[in-house]
A and B are shown apart, each in its own frame.
Chain A
Amino acid sequence: MQDNYILRIKDLSIDFQTTAGIVHAIRGVDIDLERGETMAIVGESGSGKSVTAKAIMGILSNNATVRSGVVEFHMDNETSETVVDLLKMDKKEIRQNINGKQIAMVFQDPMTSLNPLMTIGKQIMEGVLWHYDYTKEAAYNRALELLELVGITDAKKRMKSYPHQLSGGMRQRVVIAIALACNPNLLICDEPTTALDVTIQAKILELIKDIQEKTGISVIYITHDLGVVAKVADKVNVMYAGKIVEKGNIDEIFYEPKHPYTWALLSAMPDLNTNDERLYALPGTPPNLLQEIKGDAFAPRNEYALKIDKRLEPPMFKVSDTHFAATWLLHPKAPKIAMPEALQNKIQRMREGA
């Protein structure tokens, strides 16, 4: 084993062909994920986080083209370990070797991600029966075991249920069971709790954490909710307009954020202990990715924009060995500015609360 990485994405760029023109959804993304680690990708809708996940799974829609990049995946077989570039594999190869067996995915809305015409049991068994020579009975037992693992009571009865007979939380548990059916090494959760009630959100997150402890699986969370990130992630990638703008450990991102966008995200996070009369809202909307972006994509919404932001794209400045941020504010020549005071206070409270 040369290193401990399971997934390394290098310089990934993806375009979408739409009737309105070409959308540059992903513009040079680098992501490294170590084995057993939990990573979060945070960003507004349309920032390209889901597209990144779909690229890893090989389920990009037909109008997507990969312009550049590598998605290195360290594939674990029982006997060997190989490194493959997922982008170079054709659909069939990915389906046969990667999907389900190596990488599995949990989708946002459990109301729509289960096939309404198939029983829960069949949907869980399907993957196992498809990939391995399980007998029906073995697959059935495996499915039962999985349902119990994800905390569904009365599993035998539930095997025969159809999706519409279950509540949202239960369905998401089923989706997780489906994802885990073939013992993947990497689990991608695309907004796994967004569509659920708040009370159930925490339970699902705990469940995933629990499973991670039991199985040592690596997890990528894709979310716009920093609250979720705080609860689960080891590392955080902040994404904006198809680019990673800041990455670091959870503490670095939450307590010492460097990028104005991360500041804005943190400021916009609701906070019970605040005395502020109003909640911070990030002004404007993300840029239109139909147009080629010159300079820093965030500049128009950035209170602290510099002149150079309009001209040149900032590189990923190194803050520490694990912490990087793409903003010209980190350049030695840039004026030293501190994050907004309200945010400083907020972070102070978070630290105390933690």
Chain B
Amino acid sequence: MAQYITKRVVMAIVTIFIILLMLFIMLRFMPGSPFNDEKLNDTQIEQLNEKYGLNKPIQVQFFNYVINVMKGDFGVSYSISKDSDISVMLNTRVKVSFRIGGQAVLLGAIIGLLLGIAAALNHNTFADTLCTVISVLGVSLPSYVFGLALAYFVGFKAGWLPLLYDEKQTFLSSVMPTIALCMFTVATVARFTRSEMLEVLGSEYMLLAESKGIYGPKLIYRHALRNALIPILTVLAPLVVDLMIGSLVIEKIFAIPGIGSLMVTAIQSNDYNVTIAIAFIYSAMYIFLMLIVDILYGIIDPRIRLSNKE
């Protein structure tokens, strides 16, 4: 187990490192220098280079860059809000994004699980068909279809919920984006839960448990659900990534002041530093989640926990 966790952690660190290297190289080769002001003369540029350490050997620069990122210092914005510190810009936005994203993951996972379980337990009945329909729709329609539909019918036509994000009604205005975002999660989790549950329900150990005389919720929980949940855990991390992609669009549609909409703005206004900072945050979060899932997997599944080799 210790070996298993160590291996995962090392893998995660290596990946982060590779990403940092990529980002660093990109920054170096980006068209235009950080201070491409024509009024600057050579000595001034040299001073600036001195100030930002740009005259040091490249490996030292990379080392400094890594240190800075670790401290949460991503440099300054070039065009969105000139020369302001990116970490300050991100501070409040990260919270908004994570809150809505978190709500969507949680809601999506719970509804998806329930739907999938209900479908599997009532295989080939109405509940099953409903689950299939919802999951096909959710998997195949991009989140902004739901976002736009909700915005148009609920927000605009009916006016029940704020059409655009409102700082004063943070919860109410997060309802529609959360629903739009979670559809994909609901669908994927439901689809996966259903097939996993069906497989487990048809397994011999379920028959053995039944032939012991176990029935009802205890049978489902103790023998079916626990076994079905392990593989479901593995789809959750990739799902968070899909959610991030969705959040870029959804945040733009509902004008949510989060990092997703900031990233869209940054891309459109060529603000490399901001784009790269957010890209790094997304990657780091993803890798961290994958690590957590892997470790959880190891803890829950005795086949991994108790094995010495992989």
A binds B: yes
Quick check: B211 and A104 within 8 Å, CB to CB? yes
Does chain B have a CB within 8 A of A62?
A: yes
A118–B301 CA distance with the chains assembled, in angstroms: 10
B229 to chain A, nearest CB (A): 10
User: Chain A 102-140, CB within 8 Å of chain B: the 1/0 string?
Assistant: 011101110011111110000000110011000000000
Q: Which residues of A contact B204 (CB under 8 A)?
A: 107-109, 112-113
Q: In the complex, which residue of chain A has the Cβ closest to the Cβ of B300?
A: A117
Quick check: A105 and B213 within 8 Å, CB to CB? no
Quick check: A115 and B211 within 8 Å, CB to CB? no
Does chain B have a CB within 8 A of A204?
A: no
Does chain B have a CB within 8 A of A164?
A: yes
Interface of B is mostly: helix
B121 to chain A, nearest CB (A): 10
Asked if A116 meets B302 with Cβ closer than 8 Å, knowing A92-B215, A127-B213, A130-B214, the reply is: yes
**Which of the segments A93-101, A146-154, A238-246 contacts the partner chain?**
A93-101
Asked if A164 meets B302 with Cβ closer than 8 Å, knowing A95-B213, A114-B208, the reply is: yes
Does chain A have a CB within 8 A of B153?
A: no
Contacting A at CB under 8 A, from B171-228, are 202-205, 207-216, 218, 222-223, 226-227
Q: Which residues of B contact A95 (CB under 8 A)?
A: 210, 213-215
Does chain B have a CB within 8 A of A67?
A: no
Asked if A59 meets B210 with Cβ closer than 8 Å, knowing A95-B215, A112-B204, the reply is: yes
Q: Which residues of A contact B222 (CB under 8 A)?
A: 118
A91–B211 CA distance with the chains assembled, in angstroms: 11
Which residue of the partner chain, among A63, A101, A175, contacts B213 with CB atoms under 8 Å? A101
Which residue of the partner chain, among B209, B212, B216, B302, contacts A162 with CB atoms under 8 Å? B302
Does chain B have a CB within 8 A of A165?
A: yes
Does chain A have a CB within 8 A of B123?
A: yes
Which residue of the partner chain, among B203, B212, B223, contacts A178 with CB atoms under 8 Å? B212
Quick check: A107 and B302 within 8 Å, CB to CB? no
A117–B231 CA distance with the chains assembled, in angstroms: 13
Quick check: B302 and A130 within 8 Å, CB to CB? no
Does chain B have a CB within 8 A of A6?
A: no
B77 to chain A, nearest CB (A): 50
Q: In the complex, which residue of chain A has the Cβ closest to the Cβ of B211?
A: A105
Does chain A have a CB within 8 A of B303?
A: yes
Quick check: A165 and B306 within 8 Å, CB to CB? yes
Quick check: A116 and B211 within 8 Å, CB to CB? no
Asked if A116 meets B303 with Cβ closer than 8 Å, knowing A105-B208, A178-B208, the reply is: yes
A100–B211 CA distance with the chains assembled, in angstroms: 6
A346–B248 CA distance with the chains assembled, in angstroms: 78
A115–B223 CA distance with the chains assembled, in angstroms: 7
Quick check: B214 and A112 within 8 Å, CB to CB? no
Q: Which residues of A contact B205 (CB under 8 A)?
A: 112-116
Q: In the complex, which residue of chain A has the Cβ closest to the Cβ of B209?
A: A115
B218 to chain A, nearest CB (A): 8
Q: List 14 A-B contacts (CB under 8 A).
A: A91-B215, A95-B213, A96-B215, A99-B211, A108-B204, A109-B204, A113-B204, A115-B208, A117-B230, A127-B212, A130-B214, A162-B306, A165-B306, A178-B208
A-B pairs, top 8 by smallest CB distance, nearest first, are A99-B213, A100-B213, A113-B204, A127-B212, A95-B215, A162-B302, A105-B211, A115-B205
